Amino acid sequence: MTNFDQPIERIGSNSVKWDTILTMYNEDDLLPLWIADMDFRAPTDVLSAYQALLTHGVLGYTDIPQDLYTAIIRWERERHHLDLKKKEILFFSGVLAGITTAIQPFTKPEEAILIHDPVYPPFATIITNNKRKLVRSQLNEKDGRFVMDLADIEEKFKRYQIKVMILCNPHNPGGRVWTKDELQRLGELCKKYAVLVLSDEIHQDLIFPPHEMTSFFCAGTDFSDFSLQFTSMTKTFNLAGIKNSYALIKNDTLRKQLLAKQEENFQQEINTFGLIGMAAAYKTGDTWLAELLPYLQANITYTVKFFHEHLPKVKIMQPEGTYLMWLDFSAYGLSDEELEQSLIHKGKVVLNPGVSYGPSGKQHMRLNIACPQAILAEGLQRIVTVLSE
C-alpha cells in the first residue's frame, strides 16, 4: 500500500513547484499549492524501470519499444474504450508540444481558434504565440459546476469562422468531467461548422466516481473524423518532468498532416526516459492509481469541509476529476493583485491566480490538493490566517 501521507522534501531539487517560487517572490517558507504536479513519489515499478536502465548504464538513442504501444493500447481500451492501432499513436515531448504542432498545419496565421474561459492558460499562449486569433467562450456556472454555453459557441463559430477548438477534457481548472451528452452536443456543433477539435485529455485517468470519463472520440460515432486527442500518463503517475505524451489520430488525412508538421519541426525523436517511464507506468500502474484516487478524494473532502467550517464565504467548485479546485474569493472584495499578494506575503501560501485562466477567473484561485494531507491542512490554515484578518 502506498503511503501518500509520507512528506517528501522537494526543496533543492530544482522543482518548479517548490524552488522557483522562493526567488520569484523573494520569500522563505512558502507553501506551494499551485502548478499541477503532486508531492508524491512515482510508483515503485516505474522507479525500478529507471533503476534497471541506470544499472545497464548506456543511455544511447532509443527506439520506441513495441511494449509501449501494447501498454498504451491496453490502457486506452480498458479504461477509455478506445480501439487503437499502433499507427494511430504519435509521440510528442509533452501535450503542449503536440497541440502546438497541431495548430500549425490546421490553421493559418490570423485564423481563429476557440477555447473556453476559464481554461488552462497555455492554450491562449500557444494561440497568440503562433499569431492565431484567440476567441474565448465563457463557461457558465450552474449548480456549482461549469457548463458550456453552446449558443455562444455557435455564435462565435459563425462570427469568427473558427477553424479549431482546443477542448480541455476533463476541464482544468474547474474539474468538470464532461458527460457524453455534453460532448456529443458540442461535437455536433463542431461538425456542422467544420471545426477541428483538439481534445486535451491529460487528466483522463483522474476521475472520481460516479463520474465517468468520455474520450472525445467516443462521444459520437464519427467524432474521430474531425478530432485529435492529446494525452499522457504524466499527470496520472506524477511524471510531469519526463515531458512525454502522445496524440491519438484515427483519421488518415489528419494524421499525415500532423506527422508531416512533426517531421518538419524534427520533433519525432523521443527521449529514453520518457519511453521507459511511460511503458512502466502503463504496464504496472493500475494498483498505484487505484490507491491514489481515494487519497485525492479524501483531500478534496477535507478541503470542502475545511472551507465550510473556516471560510464559508469562499465558493468552492467540487471537482469531478483532476486534483485541482477552483475557488471563488469574490465575497472578500479584494482585487486580484491584493488577493495574490496577501496570500503569498502574509499567508506564505502559493495558489494559481484565477485571472491567468481567462477574464472570468477574476477573484478566483486554483488550488492543487495533491500532497500529503498534513501539508494541505497547513496550506489551508495559512489561507484562513490571511482572510480572517
Ligand X SMILES: Cc1ncc(COP(=O)(O)O)c(C=O)c1O
The binding site for ligand X (CB under 6 A) comprises 36, 94-96, 120, 168, 172, 200, 202, 232, 234, 240, 243, 245
Shortest Å, Cβ 167 to ligand X: 10
Instruction: Report whether 369 contacts 304 (CB < 8 A).
Output: no
Give the cell for residue 164: 479549431
Based on the number of CB atoms within 10 Å of its own CB, is 298 exposed (0-12), middle (13-18) or buried (19 or more)? middle
Instruction: Report whether 135 contacts 162 (CB < 8 A).
Output: yes
**Pairwise CA distance, residues 368 & 18, whole Å:** 13
Q: Directed axis angle between helix 95-106 and helix 252-264, to 10°?
A: 110
Residue 54 neighbours by CB under 8 Å, 6+ apart: none
Strand order across the 227-231 sheet: 89-92, 245-248, 227-231, 196-200, 164-168, 112-117, 133-138
Shortest Å, Cβ 352 to ligand X: 10
Q: For residues 105 and 241, which CB has a smaller minimum distance to ligand X in the complex?
A: 241
**H helix count then E strand count, the chain:** 12, 15
Shortest Å, Cβ 198 to ligand X: 11
Shortest Å, Cβ 197 to ligand X: 14
Q: For residues 324 and 380, which CB has a smaller minimum distance to ligand X in the complex?
A: 324
Shortest Å, Cβ 93 to ligand X: 8
Identify any residues that bridge with 198 across adjacent strands, giving them in sequence order. 166, 228
Shortest Å, Cβ 222 to ligand X: 25
Q: For residues 272 and 385, which CB has a smaller minimum distance to ligand X in the complex?
A: 272
Instruction: Report whether 207 contacts 177 (CB < 8 A).
Output: yes
Give the cell for residue 290: 487505484
Q: For residues 145 and 235, which CB has a smaller minimum distance to ligand X in the complex?
A: 235
Q: For residues 172 and 386, which CB has a smaller minimum distance to ligand X in the complex?
A: 172
Q: For residues 371 and 387, which CB has a smaller minimum distance to ligand X in the complex?
A: 371
What angle is formed at CA 30 by the lines to CA 385 and CA 345, rounded to 5 degrees?
Answer: 55
Map residue 147 onto helix, strand or coil. Answer: strand
**Pairwise CA distance, residues 351 & 324, whole Å:** 10
Report the amino acid identity of residue 22: L
Shortest Å, Cβ 270 to ligand X: 12
Q: For residues 202 and 228, which CB has a smaller minimum distance to ligand X in the complex?
A: 202
Report the amino acid identity of residue 151: A
Residue of minimal Cβ distance to ligand X: 94
Shortest Å, Cβ 158 to ligand X: 27
Shortest Å, Cβ 94 to ligand X: 3
Residue 339 neighbours by CB under 8 Å, 6+ apart: 329, 332, 353, 363, 365
Q: For residues 197 and 311, which CB has a smaller minimum distance to ligand X in the complex?
A: 197
Q: For residues 73 and 242, which CB has a smaller minimum distance to ligand X in the complex?
A: 242
